[in-house]
Amino acid sequence: MSVLKSGTLSQERIVFLFAIVLFAAYAVLLDGFLAPNNLMAILRSVSVLGILAVGMGIVVVGRGIDLSMVAVMAMATAWQLAMINAGTSPFLATVIVFAGVVAVGIINGLLIAYAEVPAVFATLATASFVFGLVRSRFIVQDAVPVPPSASFILEFGQARLAHMPIEVVMFAIAAFLSFLVLRFTKFGRYVYYMGDNYQAARTMGIPVRPMIIGQYVVSALVAWLAGLITAAGLQSINTRVVNSTLLYDVILVVVIGGIGLSGGKGGMRNVVIGALLIGIMLNGMTILDLPNIYQNLIKATILLVALVIDSRLNPRDEQVGQQGDI
């Protein structure tokens, strides 16, 4: 581990290297892997995952975790589409859902910052609450189609910018904006300080509690964006995604990219690299026609390895032990 600790081989670099090796191996071994359309398909296939990982990444840097993202993604979008289907004007439906999504973020933040509930439990609970509330009160079936009156959503899904599918463009924009915010704004720097040492940040006079609320509002809004982009591409949103492994895939991208779960480290570059690795890996396994169970097994193994490397690179020190961990 001396090489690792010396910093010449950070986890980010290992993952990047691994992605390149995998890419090269697939390029040599698999026909058609290098076709421009396939590379585009890889980018597109990880876009929604990547957007979710952008939101998750911000929260994890601040030493939190948001397990309600996939629930918010599916349920906010489903609720919005159901309202439009029932005759509400698209604008009004969007405003209502915006308020709802912000409210979920605020509730998460309040629970974590003021009630001091660990983030894992608070967001797990809101995830179930959001799913249950919307599923039982606002929609009548799992899949909600995009109504004809919201054709702008469909057109958005078909849009291209410089031959890039809109999903890829949105992922790029989300990652770049978050990069700017994390790197160059006060809010962004504070997120790192809090993630690195919460007590010290608080003593310094950083408004840590409102900051926490802010982070969860951002992750909720990012999740909703991911939902809208999904609906635009598929012409419907299926709330079954809440039961899928998507949430774990998001955490996989964040952790594998090298944003340590103990907070204060990493950035958007890690998210992009993590998402690319997952995209390349899944695409190759699909070309190889590997059954889904093996794909999940391989993904899980890689997550375990990443977690081990993470805990070796970012060991739990006395400080972390005292302040608790997520």
- Residues near another protein, by CB under 8 A: 31-32, 35, 37-38, 41, 44-45, 48, 135, 140-143, 145, 165, 230, 233-236, 238-241, 243-244, 246, 282-283, 286-287, 289, 291-293
Cβ distance to another protein smaller for residue 229 or 256: 229
Q: How far is the CB of 303 from another protein (least distance, A)?
A: 17
Please say which residue, 230 or 262, places its beta carbon nearer to another protein: 230
Closer residue to another protein (CB): 205 or 291: 291
Q: What's the token pair of residue 258?
A: 């090298």
Nearer to another protein, 99 or 293 (CB): 293
Comparison of 99 and 140: residue with beta carbon closer to another protein: 140
Instruction: State the burial class of residue 219 (Cβ atoms within 10 Å of its Cβ: 0-12, 13-18, 19+).
Output: buried
**Shortest distance (Å) from residue 296 CB to another protein:** 9
Task: For the CB of residue 200, give the shortest distance to another protein in the complex, in Å.
Answer: 41
User: What are the two backbone dihedrals, phi and then psi, of residue 258, each rounded to the nearest 5 degrees?
Assistant: 110, 15
**Smallest distance from another protein to CB 59, Å:** 22
d(CA 7, CA 60): 21
Q: Output the smallest distance, CB 158 to another protein, in A.
A: 8
Residues 6 or more apart in contact with residue 309 via CB below 8 angstroms: 4, 11, 14
Q: CB neighbours (10 Å) of residue 198?
A: 20
C-alpha radius of gyration, the chain, whole number: 20
Residue 48: partners with Cβ closer than 8 Å, 6 or more residues away: 167, 171, 226, 229, 230
Question: What is the CA 22 to chain-centroid distance, rounded?
Answer: 23
Residue 161, beta-bridge partner list: 164
Nearer to another protein, 134 or 220 (CB): 134
> Residue 318 is encoded by which pair of tokens?
């006395």
As measured in angstroms, the least distance from the Cβ of 77 to another protein is 13
